[in-house]
Structure formats: structure tokens, C-alpha cells
Amino acid sequence: MAGILFIISAPSGSGKSTLVSEVRRLVSGLDFSVSYTTRKPRGSEEDGREYHFTTREHFEQMIAAGEFLEWAEVFGNYYGTAISALDQAREHGTDLLLDIDVQGALQVMEKMPAAVSIFILPPSPEVLERRLRNRSQAEGVANESIIETRLAEARNELRMIDDYRYALVNDALDEAASEMRAIVLTARAQETPPESDLAARCLTRARSPRLEAALANFGILGADH
């Protein structure tokens, strides 16, 4: 691959999509891998922009044909990254952002250990719940069971945070975007860039005070680090 592969994961409702969009505005040469999914579009989502929306039958045909770098079933829907996304990034000579769930991320980390993995988490379950409710209201859907399921799943995903190289607390968009920008520029650099100190503070093993506080808010304590 000509560039660097960045793996981005976060619980549903963490503001990941907004953060990724902001970082792509700040940093050039970042291609975004549009994943395939069998779930229905939400709100203003468009086919080919947020996701390639497809049927379960077609997705399973792609699995059988070996067309996915990774795929997983989440909340009853398939999600997957096509190998063609890597081919396109190679052709363009750019770096590639993969916005994928924890199951898919672990698959890619195993296949591509040089990838730069970043976990994005909300500062607290209360903030996450508010974001999930706001999104549900914007979509005209108010399903308490879905919200509760996603809050529980978020805690499960957060327990996998030590498998990621970096961890960002998305409590303020500008700050989180600056941190992700520093990570990207540091990964690209041939020599130590000015942003390396900020990137180093975002290392998961560094356990910044913000990260420790966010994990404690979710009841996750005593993780190996």
C-alpha cells in the first residue's frame, strides 16, 4: 500500500463521523473508505457517501466471493470494508481511513499490524445517551430498547480499548480533531514533527487524565496498561 492505513473505531453515537470529517478538512491526502452495510439509510444519508447500502443477499455474495478485507454483523446488520478500497488508495497514493467497528478493526489489525489504530470514546455514558437520543429524535425514531442496547454495547467495546494504539476522548470537537491531526502527521513524518508530543499524549498506554476519567465514568477500571 502506498500510504498509511488508519483504523477508526468508536461506540455508536460518539461523534466519530463528525470528527473524521473535520480531520479530513484539516489534513489533505486522506481517503475515506466507504463501507458496505445492509442497514437502512438514516436521515440525509446517501448511498455511496456514508455507506454503500446493499441487500443482505448481495452482501453475503460478496463474503462468499472473498471481496471483504473485514466484515461483521452488528445489531443485526452486516458491515464490511471491501478490498477494493485499499486498491483505490494505492492507485491514488493516499492514506486511507477505515471507519469500522471493534470486530472489524481486530480483523484488520491482525491482517495489517502496521495500521495505525485509533479508538474514539465519549466522555461519559450520560453524554453518549444524550447524543443517541438527539440522533434518534432527528431521525424521527424513539426506541428505548435500541438506546439501551447501544449503551451496553459501548461498555463492551470500551473494554477492548487496549488493543488500539491511540485513544481520543471526543468531548470537544476542536480538541479531538487537533489530536487526531497530530496522530496522522506523526505517522506520516520521516522525522519527529512538532505534533509528536500531542500524539504521544494520546497513546492508549499513556493513560492521559482525560482518558482515565472517561473510562472511570463508564465503570472501566484497573485495565492493563
Domain of residue 194, CATH code: 3.40.50.300
Residues 6+ apart with CB under 8 A from 61: none
CA distance 180 to 172: 12
Q: At what angle do helices 16-26 and 173-188 cross, to 10 degrees?
A: 60
**Domain contains 64:** no
Rg (the chain; Cα; Å):
17
**Domain contains 121:** yes
Indicate if the pLDDT at residue 190 is higher than 90: no
**Domain contains 69:** no
Give residue 160's domain range.
Answer: 5-33+93-217
Amino acid 91: pLDDT: 86
Indicate if the pLDDT at residue 141 is higher than 70: no
pTM: predicted TM-score of the whole model, two decimal places:
0.87
Average pLDDT along the chain: 90
Q: How much of the chain, in percent, has pLDDT values that exceed 90?
A: 64
Residues 6+ apart with CB under 8 A from 50: 17, 34, 41
Indicate if the pLDDT at residue 2 is higher than 60: no
**Domain contains 52:** no
Domain count for the chain: 1
Across 56-60, 143-147, 150-154, 185-189, least confident range: 143-147
Name the range with the highest mean pLDDT among 3-7, 146-150, 181-185: 181-185
Indicate if the pLDDT at residue 225 is higher than 50: no
**Domain contains 50:** no
Across 26-30, 178-182, 217-221, least confident range: 217-221
**Domain contains 81:** no
Amino acid 147: pLDDT: 85
Q: How much of the chain, in percent, has pLDDT values that exceed 70?
A: 95
**Residue pointed to by grid coordinates 481486530:** 106
Indicate if the pLDDT at residue 90 is higher than 90: no
Going from the C-alpha of 168 to that of each of 10, 79, 80, the distances in angstroms are 10, 23, 23
Indicate if the pLDDT at residue 162 is higher than 50: yes
**Domain contains 11:** yes
